[in-house]
């Protein structure tokens, strides 16, 4: 079983409009609703790949009930979310069909009480022994300690469970110091962590700060990996147009599934890039276009990278 942690779950709403213009009314051509939050997106992709996956984190209010009802329809996915008094947040993605751009609006999430945080820690400790790997993903809702991910990383390491961390800002900085097996920042998160805007140098610096391996997401330029086994740059064969929301989460699912299956790093990276690109072509986060994935995964280019000075 793969365990994904989403402390700030969401109900993701995706609106499609012909052209998004400020200060104007818009006619929405299509609406898609899905359970969301980074770890939930990761879990749905893992389940679609055939892995048994358990989702934990928080869910509350009417939005939380809807998230849990929708998760119950996903084969291979087990709901272990912890109930809270506050309402689960919503996120809104507005896709401009004319330009292909997406505008994202993210609510902060519910206030988590100390007793609710304690209940989550108990649930996490119960689930760890049966996990083959753990993904800690996304933002922290109000009330959760900023060092939460660092503590969860240490607990996974103590249990001997490989742990992937995908977050940003101070939670990432503290989490890296706890020595996770893998982190997957995007270019902006990596620059904020290290102070460097040169991807290879920044990725190497992030690894020196404590991460066992670092895979940086470079958007349309693919993934850059610095690991104990080597350094690689994986790129898609063509630029994919569509909605990028959730593409990074699909990359995490590809990396995590490759870890559990003990694939060589180049194969993990090729899978992650192909899944990410296939998600850009899908209508909603946490989904991927299987035909695009199958077509792309054998065409991803993975090349070795010489270390920066």
CA 230, CA 162: separation in Å to the nearest integer? 19
Please say if 122 is a catalytic residue.
Answer: no
Pick from 266, 287, 269: nearest CA to 278? 287
Catalytic residue among 30, 249, 267, 289: 249
CA 112, CA 93: separation in Å to the nearest integer? 25
What's the 3-state SS for 7-73?
CCCEEEEEEEECCCCCCCCCCEEEEEEEEECHHHHHHHHHHHCCCCEEEEEEEEHHHHHHHHHHHCC
CA 163, CA 201: separation in Å to the nearest integer? 23
Show the tokens assigned to 159: 């249990």
Contact 29, 97 (CB under 8 A): yes
Contact 210, 193 (CB under 8 A): no
CA 129, CA 76: separation in Å to the nearest integer? 19
Contact 249, 286 (CB under 8 A): yes
Catalytic residue ranges? 249
């Amino acid at each position: 079983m793969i365990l994904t942690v989403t402390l700030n779950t969401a109900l993701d709403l995706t609106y499609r409009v012909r052209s998004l213009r400020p200060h104007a009314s818009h006619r929405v051509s299509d609406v898609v609703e899905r359970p969301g939050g980074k770890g939930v997106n990761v879990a749905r992709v893992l389940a679609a790949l055939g892995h048994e996956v358990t989702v934990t984190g928080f869910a509350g209010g009417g939005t939380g009930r809807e998230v849990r009802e929708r998760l119950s329809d996903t084969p291979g996915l087990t709901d272990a979310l912890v109930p809270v008094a506050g309402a689960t947040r919503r996120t809104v993605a507005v896709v401009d069909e004319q330009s292909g751009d997406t505008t994202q609006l993210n609510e902060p999430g519910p206030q988590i009480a100390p007793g609710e945080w304690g209940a989550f820690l108990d649930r996490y400790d119960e689930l760890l022994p049966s996990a083959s790997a753990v993904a800690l993903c996304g933002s922290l809702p109000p009330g959760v300690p900023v060092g939460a991910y660092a503590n969860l990383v240490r607990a996974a390491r103590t249990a001997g469970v490989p742990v992937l961390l995908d977050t940003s800002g101070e939670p990432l900085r503290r989490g890296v110091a706890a020595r996770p097996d893998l982190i997957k920042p995007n270019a902006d998160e990596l620059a904020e962590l290290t102070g460097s805007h040169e991807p290879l140098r920044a990725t190497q610096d992030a690894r020196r700060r404590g991460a066992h391996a670092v895979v940086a997401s470079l958007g349309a330029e693919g993934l850059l990996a610095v690991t104990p086994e080597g350094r690689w740059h994986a790129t898609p064969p063509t630029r994919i147009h569509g909605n990028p929301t959730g593409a990074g989460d699909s990359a995490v699912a590809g990396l995590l599934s490759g870890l559990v299956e003990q694939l060589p790093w180049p194969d993990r990276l090729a899978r992650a890039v192909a899944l990410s690109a296939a998600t850009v072509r899908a209508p909603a986060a946490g989904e991927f276009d299987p035909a695009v994935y199958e077509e792309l995964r054998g065409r991803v280019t993975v090349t070795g990278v010489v270390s920066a000075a």
